[in-house]
Amino acid sequence: MSDAATTGAGADLHRDILTTLLPGFAGTEAPEWLLRRLADGLGGVCVFGRNIADAEQLRTLNASLRAANPRAVVAIDEEGGDVTRLFHAVAAPYPGNALLGRIDEVALTERVARAVGAALAATGCTLAFAPDVDVNSNPDNPVIGVRSFGADPELAARHAAAWVRGLQGTGVAASAKHFPGHGDTATDSHLALPVVDVPPETLRARELVPFRAAVAAGTRTIMTSHILLPRLDAEQPATLSPRLVQDLLRDELGFGGVVVTDALDMHGASGVHGIPEAAVRALIAGCDLLCLGSDTTDDELDGIVTAVEGAIAAGRLAVGRVREAAGRVRALAATAPAVPTSPAVVEPRHDAVDLDRVAAAFEVTDAARRRLAAAPRIGTVVRVDTVANIAVGSAPWGPFAASAAAGVATWLDAARLVTVSAEAPPPDPASLDGAVLVVGKDLHRHPFAVAAVAALRAARDDVVTVDMGWPSDERALADVATFGASRLVGEALIAFVDRSTALAAAETT
């Protein structure tokens, strides 16, 4: 630990630096170093799926974190859809943003957000990194897709505001993301630095519209993205750019809350500079709370603190900027609801939306309806497994998650299950029994999936493809587009197929 942390004003500054940091950690119990850092003033912790065994374990964990620092922020990346941490083991029991946008009832979106907030509050979480308010204008987007409310800025805006109201009505703070908009990208910022080369007027008319709505709705925090907008700043990604954080977000949009960074261990932020220097630059840019990543260590945290202290000593970073950031973080934490003392019971489902309403928002071709109506049974389900982006992770999805959680037999259990991936080609189409249902996500973005569907369609006339991601504009590989793959959407898909094949089944008996 550096000498600046030992006495007087140096100790106060050291505490302020710690308050701006939000690390993750490994395991389901808080390590000793993390509790010690929290007692020293660490701003909080971000919990991930790997830190969670169940709701009660999470409540106990969060109680220990907030006992070490009553003003600690406990953040979680819970979007209530494909990206879920609280339901990482079983998939989320909510429809997800894209389907909420298709249903387009702001009261429903607000109720779903309130249900998410209640579930988080029951575990002691204080900040949800949601809603995702990106306008998904690029159907080839590898990291946003169904996390977005849609491709229309005004639609995204009204649902962004509704989500903020619903979530924050439970006491859990919202974080509209990923400023200034990650929807028009074809690169995953976890792995590289995406470039959005659009003029400022396009940005204001499209990407910024839902952020303005979220600010007007009172979102407590906004998360920045690691994307480069060369028309505004040709050198620094948004997280590290004073032009975007201070000039655009603070001055133009009038946001006065906490600016939190997306994880600084992502390549888009630290691929060039490393995490300690990225942390320094984020503070200089005007960010307040620095999300560091999922498996921070004590030594790594010390290296970041040392880098910030060095930047202050060198005159690159003003002490006042650090104190301002720390003050905003403390103000955010001061309004958090208390840690529940009773056991956390999070219902596996909720009644904010029923399956029929979800299924009615699916996009289904006439050909798919005819094929399903003519099929007395689904004989084969071809599961297309693609590599999920890091934000989604390894959570179960779609009808496979729903079937595992339901505990009752469905047509999915009776069908032959074939898994296709980049390493596992499809079997001979002639060997497949009964009608064939192909189920995957973002099928058009994966050449092996495109080839597999083409081979099946060329050999059979009873193939129905289900895309549970964001389909291509021409819907070439989406006979059924569900616009989400949460557990609730999986349940709705099971019920939809069951109803669609019921007539043919009845006629054969």
Listed residue (312, 212, 220, 208) closest to 260, CA to CA: 220
CA distance 162 to 149: 11
CA distance 312 to 326: 15
CA distance 348 to 264: 32
pTM: 0.94
Largest CA-CA distance found in the chain, in angstroms, rounded? 84
CA distance 269 to 282: 9
CA distance 501 to 411: 10
**129 and 78 in contact (C-beta within 8 Å)?**
yes
Tokens (6 digits) for 253: 């949009």
Q: What is the 3-state secondary structure (H, E, C) of 369-407?
A: HHHHHCCCCEEEEEEECCCCCCCCCCCCCHHHHHHHHHC
pLDDT digits (tens, 9 = 90+) for 161-216: 999 999 999 999 999 999 999 998 877 777 778 889 999 999 999 999 999 999 99
- Give the number of other CB atoms < 10 A from CB of residue 447: 9
Phi and psi for 425 in degrees, rounded to 5?
-70, 160
Q: Which residues are catalytic?
A: 190, 262
What residue has token string 């309130």? 114
DSSP assignment letter at 76: E
Secondary structure of residue 509 in the 3-state scheme = coil
**189 and 226 in contact (C-beta within 8 Å)?**
yes
- Say which amino acid occupies 480: V
β-pairing, 21-22 vs 290-291, is parallel
What residue has token string 């995204």? 156
**483 and 146 in contact (C-beta within 8 Å)?**
yes
Helices and strands in the chain, H and E counts: 19, 14
Alpha-carbon dihedral 72, 77, 78, 83, rounded to 10 degrees? -170
pLDDT tens track, the chain, 509 positions: 444 445 566 889 999 999 999 999 999 999 999 999 999 999 999 999 999 999 999 999 999 999 999 999 999 999 999 999 999 999 999 999 999 999 999 999 999 999 999 999 999 999 999 999 999 999 998 899 999 999 999 999 999 999 999 999 999 999 999 999 999 887 777 777 888 999 999 999 999 999 999 999 999 999 999 999 999 999 999 999 999 999 999 999 999 999 999 999 988 777 788 999 999 999 999 999 999 988 899 999 999 999 999 999 999 999 999 999 999 999 999 999 898 988 887 765 656 678 999 999 999 999 999 999 999 899 999 999 988 778 888 889 999 999 887 676 789 999 999 999 999 988 899 999 889 999 999 999 999 999 999 999 999 999 999 999 999 999 999 999 999 999 999 999 999 999 998 766 555 54
pLDDT digits (tens, 9 = 90+) for 81-98: 999 999 999 999 999 999
CA distance 376 to 338: 54
b/e code 301-331 from CB counts within 10 Å (16+ = b): bbebbbbbbbbbeeeebeeebbbbbbebbbe
CA distance 113 to 110: 5
- Say which amino acid occupies 367: A
CA distance 140 to 118: 34
CA distance 81 to 254: 29
- The length of the chain in residues reads 509
